[in-house]
Structure 1
Amino acid sequence: MEEGDAKSPTNSQQTISDDDEIDYSTKPEFYDPELDDKDEKWIHKKRHGSDSDAVLCCPACFTTLCLECQRHEKYLTQYRAIFVTNCKIEDKQVPTQSSSKSRSRKRNRRNEGFDGSDAISTSNETLKQVCCAVCSTEVGVFDEDEVYHFFNVLPSES
């Protein structure tokens, strides 16, 4: 080992921390202390004063899909909504399971899941696939009553 190797610092040891170069006397360029308040006003305006159980996002690209929805009573990971954003309805119909359940059960179908298990009450009901408009991930179905049923989404508290 030579004398200069142990005592002389390498280039990586001579660099200083990025924190040492930051001038904290000026305000950050992209900071807005009122941004949270502005966001809250925007969401209340979009919801027209009504409450929502969650804000729904695409599980693949995190794009907002719904600001106002209702959580399913039995299937806690499923939601229904009428007003959505960044969703596209595919022409492809979702296959439904035929069932011998009564017609009165069909009226209560919103209390059933829409994940393909015991979700669909009759075979003549038409459901269309709903996908994220940004990344085309399937996020739910659209029924004949023009209600969106989401089962593949990320909910966040509203």
Structure 2
Amino acid sequence: MDEMKDNIMASPTNSQKTVSDDEEIDYSIKPEFYDSDLDDKDELWVQKKRKGGTSDAVLSCPACFTTLCLECQRHEKYVTQYRAVFVVNCKIGSDQVIHQKEARPRRAKSGRQSSEIESNPAGNQTFKQVCCLVCSTEIGVIDEDEVYHFFNVLPSES
């Protein structure tokens, strides 16, 4: 048993044999997959997709970081929510329909009802669940007018 301990101690450890990755990389050769113009090419691609439109953010899935929307508008009151018409990598869940009844109509100071309530006299809205196409994470809903309302997304600078 003592002979085994001596043999183990005498052999060099794995850390003594390891060579640093920096010593193996030849920095005089340009990397095969590097493109210094890639950011400019990506920006032109996004501008082409937006067709001149502007956006408050680029939206991504919070679970897998897949791009969901290149052109959206931030909600005026709820700053973590967005709405959009054109999306990518989204699937509509047909099995779950959400009905939302609006609260009782509020009277304005002049005693009239607000214009939003008058434009929707039934007061009911129907929404369908929207999920990420890649990982199926719920990211928002779509309304009857086919406007997407995102509430579970990661916004980034556009």
More strand by share: 2
Equivalent-residue separation in structure 1 for 2:122 and 2:104 (angstroms): 7
Q: 2:98 aligned with 1:94, yes or no?
A: yes
Q: Tell me the matched-pair count.
A: 145
Opposite residue 100 of structure 1, the aligned amino acid is: R
Question: What secondary structure, in the 3-state scheme, does the structure 2 residue paired with 1:44 have?
Answer: helix
Q: 1:9 to 1:94 in 2, by over 3 A?
A: same
Q: 1:54 to 1:100 in 2, by over 3 A?
A: same
Opposite residue 100 of structure 2, the aligned amino acid is: T
User: Corresponding residue for 1:17?
Assistant: 20
**TM-score, with normalisation over the residues of structure 1?**
0.80
Identical positions, percent: 69
Q: 2:75 aligned with 1:72, yes or no?
A: yes
User: Corresponding residue for 1:116?
Assistant: none
Pairs within 5 Å for 1:147-158:
147-158=147-158
Question: What secondary structure, in the 3-state scheme, does the structure 2 residue paired with 1:42 have?
Answer: helix
Q: What residue ranges of structure 1 are gaps of 5+ in the alignment?
A: 110-120
Q: Give me the CA root mean square deviation.
A: 2.6
Larger radius of gyration: 2
Q: State the Cα deviation string for residues 48-96 of structure 1 (Å, max 9, x = none).
A: 0111000001111111110000001110000000000111111111242
**Shift in Å at residue 107 of structure 1?**
7.4
Pairs within 5 Å for 1:17-96:
17-91=20-94, 92-96=96-100
Q: What residue ranges of structure 2 are gaps of 5+ in the alignment?
A: 1-5, 106-112
